[in-house]
Each structure stands twice: as structure tokens, then as C-alpha cells.
Structure 1
């Protein structure tokens, strides 16, 4: 992904990030009202690209490219950030950053809502509250509607598998008293982006995808700053009280829709620092949309 300069223009897209001159280039359980803002910010690692589980390493970042600008953002950030991008309906994945996986928190409410509404349309109002306002009680209702914990976890995993996420598992027992069972699923950014890329293409997913465009104003940070975004956030503290803040969703590019998953874990542990880091990544992505290859459902 490159800048618009003529002499050094090397266009890197999601469908062709490697190969130029043979270069081997590279929620929530408990979402309480978070603390008050303070800015934050991470070391630089090379981006990676892959389809499925494979991928080549990127060791060169052209000045002005998304890779270079993301590296600069990391260097000015105290904490860990990560980003994964793939075109809707596609398989090619590009990822950046030092943060790669952790608890899903409330982002898991998306496949949960799809599973529950498919199972029984009468739970549409609970799905609406769980997605648009990240209501935990509503999400618990959706989970219970699917049966016992084993049955419910299997139903959510089935939706994940349909969406191309072949690795994520949903717990069946509570691992923390202050968090939901499902919110503690370990969901990597790569798997989440793959799922997001197929989500709008899945049968009977349109109701939930539509709700992702109706997120309440107080949760419209990060991807929420992009008017056309369909997204869901998730956040929560680890056992030492330090927050992880993450989002995933769909945004428009000049060539189609793009699936995005990103996360921040500030050294300060502050929710608002994490939120500010997602805002910065959104601004960065918005400035490079013309370089990204979008896609559509088949």
C-alpha cells in the first residue's frame, strides 16, 4: 500500500501485497462505564500478508505507505496495537502490529446474535440491544436462548466457521466471575477480519449487520467515526485491571467493502487511552483507503 508519488509509486493492495521485484515483503463480559480520557500510544513490527493460515513476511515499508505510517504510529504509542484487513468476500489478509489475539469481549456478540436470531426470530429485540448498546443482559438472554452452554457455544462456533474462522472456540464454562462465558473466547484479529469479510455474505445475517450500523452515539469512537461503518466494539480489563479495547467491522473503499479488525492495549491500562489509540488507527486507515482493495459478496 503506497503513497501517490509518481517516482516511487509501488501500489500494494490486499490482493497483491507481495511479488514486486521478487521482494519477500511482511466487549464484553463486563463493559462498565470506563474511566476518564488521557492520551496513549507501540514499537514497530513489519506487517504480514496471508491467505488462510499462510503468509509472507514484509520487511520493507515504502515511505508514505500504510505499512510505514502504521509503523510510525506504533513508535509513538505506549502499549500494543494490532490491525488486520481483508476485502469483503475475499481471503487475502494483511496484518500489522504487535497485538494479535486476546479476549473477544463484546465483539463476540455479533456471531452470538446471528446464531440466536436464526434460531428464533423472537429474540430480535435482544439482538438489537446486545449489538447497538452492547447490553450484557440482552447478550445473556441470547446465549440462554440457544440452550445449555455446550449447545450455545457450538451454535456460535458454527456461525464462526461459516464465516471462515476455522480456529476460534467459544468457552462453555465461566473463567472469570466478572465476565461472561462467551466474552472470554480468545479471538485473534486475523480470524476476526476473516469472519467480518464473510459476515455480510452469510445467509440470514443481514439483520445483525444492519444493527452494526446503528451503534449508540456513546460507542461511536474508532470505526464509529466513519459514517458508513457497520461495526461492533468490545472492551474489558484483564485481571490486573488493565483494559483491552477492540473493534471490528466493515467500511467502504473506492473499490468495495473492506473488513477491519483492530485492538489496543495501552501500557497505562486506561480505557480512554485504548479508545484514543483506536481513533488514531481509524484516522490512519481513512487516509489510505484508496490504496486498499475492497470486495463484494459473491
Structure 2
């Protein structure tokens, strides 16, 4: 679930259908997307697979969190029957007094009811998507492109050689932690590509609970974007079964950066590459509870007090 990014003005339901990829960060396929609108603004965007059973269960935290909001629910699918099945499931689950608009979008037209002739929209090249790209919000072609971001991109031989080099130059854990802290600070100031040995240092450091707590609790909405880049590089270059801490750090930074889809993908990757249990529980609760990034400062303060 994603908090709305910087303001984009929409003037019609067509605009709203076209802007969804910029809110999610990718073009949805066979997806149900719920937009919670209050005070004339999209406050929250939530997505689930259309074929989840029942799909309404995954979207329920959005309307529980924002009672009184106006909801627009859009089924993106070429299969009209499945689209309206999913929309009907959400319609039945929404509170009876909640205002809602149900829409099926098939990639070329959107429809407000099954017998509607439909209204054309631009699924790929609309002005609003161009504005999002210009503003630096990446819009990926599909959710599969997000999964590729958390896959290993180094050969086992490259990873082993990097581990050997780091072990040869580090006299102990304190050296690795000190180097990792310096890398984290440097990347905040000047984001860029990591050398594989630097990624290895950060991967090893992420196994130290104190360092990982420090790294995650120092993540803010201001430095979230470079932190996403940093930790995804660690995930790609690290030992595949040992990047759980880096995945947790990437998930937190993605959430704070307004990229709920990437946050969810990082959490799913942690099923196979487990990370720190406490942070995994926290991130799952944030995701399932549709907690907006604006609440991070108070949540981080509570976590610091709990660790003191």
C-alpha cells in the first residue's frame, strides 16, 4: 500500500485511471487497485492480485484506516468477467455507507458497468505518466520488473572472491562495521553504484543487530531514495541466502519513499531469504495496516525507546 506522492492534478475519471501506474510505480495487470480519496486528494493506493480469493480481504485495511473516504476501485484486466467478479467482491465488503465508484479498465477503455460502451484512455503514454517520469518517479512495465530488482546479479565465484578480499583486509568485525557506517553516510551524501566489495561489507554488517537497527532507524523520508538504491545493490551482490537484513532495510526505505509495491516485493523475498524477525514483523504490520510513511517519525521514536 502506497501513500500518495507529490500532488498531481486530475480532472476526470479518465485521468484517475491513467495516473494509477504512477501511484503504484508499475503498470498493473490482472490487478484490483483501490484509491482512497479524502478532501479532494488520493490519500492511499492499495493493490492486490485480481485472482486472490477473496480479493477484498487484501484491500480491507485501506477502508478500515480511512473511514469516510470516497473509494474508487479499478480492476485492470482484459478479462471482463474476472474484473467484475473482483469488483463485486470488494463492493460487497465495503461498508454500506462508503461512497464508491467501480471501474473495469481493459488497457484501451474503462467501464462503469458491464454493459457500458466504455471510455478510451491512454494506458501507456498519457500526459500524467509523462509528468511522473519527469518528476523522477519510475514506472515499470510490470510487477515482474520489481522482482528482478531483488534477484542476485553476481555469480557465486564473484561473491566468493569478494568475501575473501574483505576477510583478508578486515582485522575483525569492528573494522567491517566502521567501514559499513562510512559507506552508508557517503551514499546518503552522494548516491551511486557500489563496488562489489562495498556491497559485501554492508551485507556482512547487516548481520550485526546493532548496526542494522542503527541503519534502519536512521532512514528518513529525506534519505529514503538513496537508501533504496544502496540496499538493493547489496541484495543483488550479496550472498543470496544472507541478504535478509538488506531486504528489510530496502523494504523500509521503499515504504518511506512511497513505493509500496517494492516494499511488498522485498517482504515476499524475505520468505526465502529470512531477515531479522522483529523487523520483518514490524514491516508486515506496516504493510497490512496501510500505515502511511508520515507516521514513521513517531514509530521510530517508539522503537528507539524500546531498544534503550
TM-score when normalising by structure 2: 0.27
Higher share in strand: 1
Name which one, 1 or 2, has greater alpha-carbon Rg.
Answer: 2
Q: Which has the higher contact order (CA 8 A, sep 6+)?
A: 1
Higher share in helix: 2
TM-score when normalising by structure 1: 0.27
